Structure 1
Amino acid sequence: MKLNELHDNVGATKNRMRVGRGIGSGKGKTGGRGVKGQKARTGVAIKGFEGGQMPLHRRLPKRGFNNIHAADLNEVNLGRVQAAVEAGKLDKGATVTVDSLVSAGIIARPRDGVKLLGVGDFSTKLTFEVTRASKSAIEAVEKAGGTVNVAFASGVSTRGKAEATA
């Protein structure tokens, strides 16, 4: 067998139907689209329209709630901060703020602030100034000898609030 002798089995392929090629072709005149109207035209999709009946997406009750006042925070794990310190992107003695995290490449942009999370190993003595911090993150930083100044600590009543306002 040679490459120029290769071909499909008989009946394996069919030529495509060429629509709109005269009444004798079987797909002439309207070209299989029915007659007139918006849906006979090219590029039209009436999504969700049920012929005047109330569409399903309007029959069903609304669910959920989008809080327009919710803070859009960057979430930073302590393991990521430790890796940045070891790579020399963050100074060991400096205070870790939103700006220093952006310049170190840990977060892309400031958004509404930073929430510090306690995932990963952390052993460097650092001072953090963040918007929020988890209880486990605060415990891990304090265990390493550092401090966390937060505007609001989730799960913690007042720890860090007095330092953040001062």
Structure 2
Amino acid sequence: MSLKEEFATRNFSIYGQWLGILTMILCFALGIANLFYITRPLIIIMAAVCLASSFLILFIEVPLLLRICPTSAKFDNIIRKITTNFMRAAAYAGMALAQWLTLLDGSGPTSLIAAAVFLTLTGICYLLAGIKGQAFVGSKTLGGAGVAQMIV
């Protein structure tokens, strides 16, 4: 199945997975960019959380990496629990909430708001897939289908 055919299925879990990959790249870039706010400690902490979220998203969205990368059994078990659409929506909601908290800094918003928006949109895609009763379908381009079954 090609990428065009995957998007034509109208399955929100595929939209969520691809939006998750885009969000991972954005979180990585914004996490690094915001680590240099020396006078704003809350922003530095949230930038580190954003950077950590990017690596968490990578393992959530590309299940093949659990086989390739040397990780602990505890981390693998946590990632394996995030398999359903509702669990993915909850994980993205938690990461989005952490980034929305950067608004509490009082010195004005930063570019971490973009990460919060994309994390929220990805969570909404997975939530819609869960509400519509669509089964999670991993993109074959990202190592879904047979590879995802082998890992679980």
- Bucket of the pairwise TM-score, normalised by the shorter protein: under 0.3
Structure having greater relative contact order (Cα 8 Å, sep ≥ 6): 2
Which entry has the higher C-alpha Rg, 1 or 2?
A: 1
Q: TM-score, normalised by structure 1?
A: 0.25
Instruction: From the two aligned structures, give the one with the greater strand fraction.
Output: 1
